[in-house]
Structure 1
């Protein structure tokens, strides 16, 4: 495996997984504010454990990432206030903008997971075979 995970990073990955699960449950259960807020807390603490506290603060406070940070935290605030649909949309946009540099690393990590990696790589393998058969 390309990445070594110590215990703190494993806990961080677990917290992010539980955070995404709680967020998914919150969306499925008619935008339940409690589950969405718990998912946000777990995801943020997981990111802090993976990156480290100083790097997390640096990530959210860099001038390049200020648009993503602002939209993410406004989305968290809107969920806590009671506007979950707009809050989820702003959080999603903020997450994509904040973590746009991490997507290649995340893809490599996910492709190394036994079953999930096959599902991630299968569409590209299928399309490559399709295009090769069309060209021949």
Structure 2
């Protein structure tokens, strides 16, 4: 794959992930509207597949560690609950499953947000956020 196509794929995937997170948060702010949360989930998963590629996305969910399997099961149960119109329980299950799946990406997200948000550097004065940002070099905190 050429470098331009790879760059475009990353930009499109990041856009889908961003809109997915936006709709997910919007669904929570509108008192757990299952429609917004479901749209956010679908866009997030599409963005993840486009951003990383199908093979790496599958490896993310079906890893060799036991935590990834438990996280995947919890995340999928949460998706099913949201689609069955039980958004509160679905979000709880998704949150419990998302942490073991995506905890390796937290240092990247924190460093991105500190660079983009106005006053983002002040976030690093909070001890647990600073530890999270520093853990990117040694691996995950947990």
Structure showing greater Rg = 1
Q: How much has 1:111 moved relative to structure 2?
A: 3.2
2:139 matched to which residue of 1?
none
Q: How much has 1:126 moved relative to structure 2?
A: 7.7
TM-score by length of 2: 0.76
2:122 matched to which residue of 1?
122
Show structure 1 runs of 4+ deviating over 6 A: none
2:78 matched to which residue of 1?
75
Structure 1: stretches of 5+ with no match in the other structure: 128-136
Q: How much has 1:70 moved relative to structure 2?
A: 0.6
1:46 matched to which residue of 2?
47
Q: Secondary structure at the match of 1:91?
A: helix
Write out per-residue CA displacement over residues 12-45 of structure 1, whole angstroms, 9 at most, x where no aligned residue.
1111111111111111222111111100000011
TM-score by length of 1: 0.79
Q: Secondary structure at the match of 2:26?
A: helix
Q: Which has the higher contact order (CA 8 A, sep 6+)?
A: 1
Q: How much has 1:125 moved relative to structure 2?
A: 4.2
| CA 89–6 in structure 1, closer or farther in 2 if over 3 Å, else same | same
2:36 matched to which residue of 1?
35
| CA 71–123 in structure 1, closer or farther in 2 if over 3 Å, else same | same
- For 1:104 and 1:6, locate their aligned partners in 2 and report how far apart those are by CA, in whole Å: 22
Q: What is the correspondence of 1:1-136 to structure 2 with a 5 Å cutoff?
A: 6-64=7-65, 65-113=68-116, 116=117, 118-125=118-125
- For 1:73 and 1:22, locate their aligned partners in 2 and report how far apart those are by CA, in whole Å: 18
Contact map agreement 2:19 2:40 (CA 8 A) in 1: yes
| CA 90–111 in structure 1, closer or farther in 2 if over 3 Å, else same | same
CA RMSD of aligned residues (A): 1.9
